[in-house]
Homo-oligomer: A and B are copies of this chain.
């Protein structure tokens, strides 16, 4: 048993899936769910995701051994502040938001520094679906979770949160918030912008109908992430504005280079760039395939 009383704030895809995974692993006693919507709590109870539904935040938090803030990014900052003000500093408090720097800033501003029991986290898993109906006990299996730690981090709380994710069959890594936000800007936030922008360009031109009509499987794969939740991505980009802008700068430099080689008919240099990219991408895909087969 890792936690006797686990409190999940926001019982959607992420919070719900975590609760299911921990119940399956048998490492939690009572899972208490809190949500702004009664209908979410009802669904979560019916699906067996939570044991207790508690619409009042303070009542939910009382007696907690661990609190997971799993609301949308935009609510996570203020909710974390409220929770960290309320619970004793011995209680591990964590979250699942996709950007960490904004939360670190909010906590530092409010508390003077990030409280030592705040173990910010980001499970790199998700789905185009959302909501508790889509929750499943293996969402995090063989996925990676990044935990944010610094010199002040309470090591007991950190170990508890780490054990929790390991019980959900995820692989846990630690890094600083700025590093996290830089890495995710590149590997996740930038690609989403590019996919949305490409679809926008195709939709807006005079050849729009034909461009979609004659697009094929490659285009479908390339633009899959443009089917992600627009509200969520608006929030992620704004929360990670600085790093996203930096990654956009870098990307525009790459485009500029390719365009200039094209302009100069320098096919050889274009092929060198493409060959290196193909090598890196093939290796990445191989690693990802190995990882997804791995048993922890």
A residues sitting closer than 8 Å to B (CB atoms) are 124-125, 143-144, 146, 173, 175, 179, 182-184, 186-188, 190-203, 205, 207, 210-228, 230-231, 233-235, 237-238, 241, 244-245, 247-248, 250-252, 254-255, 258-259, 262-263, 265, 267-268, 270-271, 273-278, 280-285, 287-288
Instruction: Quote the shortest CB–CB distance from A43 to chain B (angstroms).
Output: 24
Copy tally for this chain in the complex stands at 2
* Set of chain B residues within 8 Å of A263, measured between Cβ atoms: 241, 245
User: In the complex, how many angstroms separate the beta carbon of A232 from the nearest chain B beta carbon?
Assistant: 9
- Would you list 5 pairs from A and B whose C-beta atoms are within 8 A, ordered by A residue? A179-B207, A179-B210, A201-B250, A227-B285, A238-B262
The closest CB in chain B to the CB of A267 belongs to: B234
Question: Do the beta carbons of B186 and A190 come within 8 Å of each other?
Answer: no
Report the Cα distance A42→B212, complex, angstroms.
39
Question: A284 vs B199: C-alpha distance in the bound complex, in angstroms?
Answer: 10
Considering the complex, give the chain B residue whose CB is closest to the CB of A203: B280
Q: How far is the CA of A278 from the CA of B231 in the complex (A)?
A: 11
**A218 neighbours in B (Cβ, 8 Å):** 188, 191-192, 224-225, 228
Smallest Cβ distance from A151 to chain B, in angstroms? 21
B183 touches A211 (CB 8 A): yes
Assess whether B186 is in contact with A201, with CB atoms less than 8 Å apart.
yes
State A215–B217 Cα separation when bound (angstroms). Answer: 21
Q: Kindly report which residue of chain B lies nearest to residue A240, judged by CB atoms.
A: B262
| Pair B248/A280 contact, Cβ less than 8 Å | no
Structural contact, B196 and A234, CB atoms closer than 8 A: no
Asked whether, in the complex, the Cβ of A224 is within 8 Å of the Cβ of B221, the reply is: yes
